[in-house]
Amino acid sequence: MFAGRSNGQIRSVKPPRIHLSSYLTGGLKKLYSHLKNDCLSLAVYRKGQFTNDEGHFYISGSCVMASRYRIIDLISEKGQSGVLLKAEDMFREDTIVVIKVLHTTFSQLGIQETLCLQQLRTVDPDNISHTLRLLNIFTFDDHYCMVFEALYPEPINRIFHQISRDKLIPSIRKVAIRLLTILGFLQQQNVIHADLKPDNILLKKKDDLGSLKVIDFGNAIHHIHKEVSLYYEDFEVQTPLYRAPEVIFGIPFGSEIDIWSVGCILAELYAGKPLFLGGDEKSIVKKMTEVLGLLPTHVFQKGKFYSELKSFTGTNTQEN
Residues identified as active-site: 195
Per-residue DSSP letters for 211-271? GEEE---TT-EESSHHHHGGGTTT---S-GGG--HHHHHT----THHHHHHHHHHHHHHHH
**SS3 state at 192:** strand
Measure Cα distances from 195 to 7, 74, 125, 260 in Å.
Answer: 28, 23, 24, 11
Bridge pairing between strands 9-12 and 64-65: unpaired
In sequence order, the β-bridge partners of residue 212 are 203
Short-list 303, 301, 307, 276, CA closest to 289: 276
Give yes or no for a contact between 211 and 159, defined as CB atoms under 8 angstroms apart.
Answer: no
Decide if 143 contacts 85 (C-beta within 8 A).
Answer: no
Q: How far apart are CA 135 and CA 97, in angstroms?
A: 9
Are the C-beta atoms of 189 and 120 separated by less than 8 Å?
yes
